[in-house]
C-alpha cells in the first residue's frame, strides 16, 4: 500500500493527519465567509430614523398647507404673518404644531436648557423654517440642519414665501442617515 493510500484511508496510519488537512482546507475555504458574517453582525448597521416615514408623509400635507397660505396671502409679507397663518392652516388640518421649544443641549458633558426659536415643528417629526427673503442663502439651510440635529428631526422644509410660485422657494433637507434602511 502506498503512503498516499495509507493517509487517505480512514482509521489507517496517518488518519489524524488526513483529518487535519480536511480541517485546514475547511478553514481556509470557509473562514473568510464566517469572518465576514461575524464582522457584519457586530458592525453598526445604519437604520432608518424611526420618524422618517411619518415625517415624509406629513411633508406632503405640510407643503399643501403652505401653498394654501401663499395662495391666499401672496408673496411680499413679513415672515411672522406667514408663520401665524401657517400655524392656523395646520390646525385647520388637525396637525399638531409648535413654534418654539426649550431643549436640552449637551456639550462635552455640560448640559443646559435653551429655548430654541425654530419656526414650526409639526407632529414632533417635521421641522419647517419659513422665510420671506429675496434669495435663500446657504446659512438658511445650515440653520435648519443644525436645528434638525439638535431636535433629532429627520426631515426639514425650508419655505420661502417671497417667491411668485411657492414651489420655487421650497427646499427639503434630510438629516444625514435618516433615510437609510
| Digit-coded pLDDT (tens) for 56-99 | 999 999 999 999 999 999 999 999 999 999 999 999 999 999 99
In the predicted model, is pLDDT for residue 176 greater than 90? no
Query: What's residue 7's pLDDT?
Result: 45
Q: 151 by DSSP, 3-state: which?
A: helix
What average pLDDT is seen over the chain?
Answer: 83
d(C-alpha 125, C-alpha 163), whole Å: 26
**How many domains does the chain divide into?**
2
Residue 131 burial by Cβ neighbours in a 10 Å radius (0-12, 13-18, 19+) = buried
Q: What mean pLDDT is predicted for residues 125-147? A: 96
**Looking at the structure, do residues 38 and 56 belong to the same domain, yes or no?**
no
d(C-alpha 137, C-alpha 142), whole Å: 9
Output the pTM of the full model: 0.72
**Looking at the structure, do residues 96 and 142 belong to the same domain, yes or no?**
yes
Domain-embedded: residue 63: yes
**Looking at the structure, do residues 34 and 58 belong to the same domain, yes or no?**
no
Long-range contacts of 52-56 (CB under 8 A, 24+ apart): 52/154, 52/155, 52/178, 52/179, 54/123, 54/125, 55/123, 55/125, 55/126, 55/153, 55/154, 55/155, 56/155
Torsion sign (Cα): 97, 101, 104, 107? positive
Query: What's residue 20's pLDDT?
Result: 54
CB 156 within 8 A of CB 127: yes
d(C-alpha 71, C-alpha 67), whole Å: 6
**Percent of residues, the chain, with pLDDT higher than 90:** 61
**Looking at the structure, do residues 31 and 93 belong to the same domain, yes or no?**
no
**Looking at the structure, do residues 92 and 137 belong to the same domain, yes or no?**
yes
Q: What mean pLDDT is predicted for residues 5-26? A: 54
CB 131 within 8 A of CB 77: no
Domain-embedded: residue 29: yes
**Looking at the structure, do residues 23 and 77 belong to the same domain, yes or no?**
no
In the predicted model, is pLDDT for residue 140 greater than 60? yes
Could you tell me which residues are beta bridge partners of residue 110?
Answer: 107
Please, what's the largest Cα pairwise distance for the chain?
Answer: 101
Query: What's residue 21's pLDDT?
Result: 57
**Looking at the structure, do residues 63 and 12 belong to the same domain, yes or no?**
no
Kindly report, residue by residue over 16-32, the tens digit of the pLDDT.
Answer: 556 655 655 655 566 55
**Looking at the structure, do residues 64 and 149 belong to the same domain, yes or no?**
yes
**Looking at the structure, do residues 109 and 38 belong to the same domain, yes or no?**
no
pLDDT top residue among 172 and 1: 172
Q: Domain residues for 137? A: 52-174
Amino acid at each position: 500500500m502506498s503512503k498516499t493510500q495509507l493517509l487517505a484511508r480512514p482509521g489507517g496510519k496517518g488518519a489524524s493527519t488526513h483529518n487535519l488537512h480536511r480541517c485546514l482546507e475547511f478553514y481556509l475555504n470557509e473562514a473568510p465567509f464566517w469572518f465576514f458574517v461575524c464582522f457584519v453582525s457586530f458592525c453598526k448597521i445604519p437604520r432608518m430614523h424611526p420618524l422618517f416615514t411619518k415625517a415624509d408623509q406629513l411633508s406632503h400635507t405640510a407643503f399643501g398647507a403652505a401653498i394654501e397660505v401663499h395662495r391666499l396671502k401672496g408673496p411680499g409679507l413679513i415672515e411672522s404673518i406667514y408663520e401665524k397663518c401657517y400655524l392656523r392652516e395646520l390646525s385647520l388640518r388637525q396637525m399638531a404644531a409648535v413654534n418654539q421649544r426649550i431643549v436640552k443641549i449637551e456639550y462635552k458633558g455640560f448640559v443646559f436648557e435653551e429655548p430654541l426659536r425654530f419656526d414650526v415643528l409639526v407632529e414632533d417629526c417635521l421641522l419647517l423654517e419659513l422665510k420671506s427673503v429675496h434669495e435663500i442663502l446657504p446659512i438658511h439651510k445650515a440653520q435648519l440642519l443644525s436645528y434638525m440635529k439638535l431636535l433629532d428631526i429627520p426631515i426639514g422644509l425650508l419655505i420661502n414665501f417671497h417667491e411668485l410660485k411657492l414651489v420655487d422657494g421650497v427646499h427639503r433637507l434630510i438629516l444625514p442617515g435618516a433615510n437609510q434602511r
